[in-house]
Amino acid sequence: MRFLKSLNPKGDTIVEVMIVTIIIAVIMGSAYGLAVRSLQDTQLSQERAYALKLAEGQLEELKAAASSSATVGFLTNSAGFCLNSDAASGALNSTTLSPGLPADSLEASRAGLSSYDAACKISSNNDACASFCYYVSLNSVSGVDHSYTATVRWESPRGELEQVQLSGKVYPDA
């Protein structure tokens, strides 16, 4: 009984309610910020995995073309290029990029992305790059025989230019 008498029968004051409201708002704001950051990181991880898949696919197509009996002049191409298969005939086509892979600085890269041929722009959702695009390039490594670097660039959810590079050796059949 003594416990019940010690409680304040008047209730909470407006100041106490405001303090609790502010504390809850700060906690909710922090939770929202963490959730948004987590979502962006998840999306970036998915985009990076898809870009790695594209780069690996370009190197595998290059290896397959080098081992085929067809003449593949693009194996000696020092400029940037990409490979794509013609859906109707299944033939492998090479598209030379001009002026090649864009520079490493962010501004030059963004400006250079527009120089990619349409065949080297790949959309992950088949919307003809209306909303999002990957930019693919294969380059031979200077000074190293039969070595190529597949580079995939894209703009991340945070607006930063992201890049994935894979290197491999391709030996044409003699």
- The predicted pLDDT at position 33 comes to 96
Question: Which residues of the chain are under the pLDDT cut of 70?
Answer: 1-10, 68-79, 85-119, 124-131, 143-144, 172-174
State pLDDT tens for residues 75-92. Answer: 655 567 777 765 455 556
- The predicted pLDDT at position 117 comes to 59
Q: What is the pTM of this model?
A: 0.68
Rounded Cα distance between 20 and 55, Å, is 52
- The predicted pLDDT at position 58 comes to 86
Tell me the H-state helices in 68-139: 106-113
- The predicted pLDDT at position 116 comes to 60
The residue whose two tokens read 């959702």 is 125
Rounded Cα distance between 33 and 152, Å, is 29
Is 80 buried (19+), middle (13-18) or exposed (0-12) by CB count in 10 A? buried
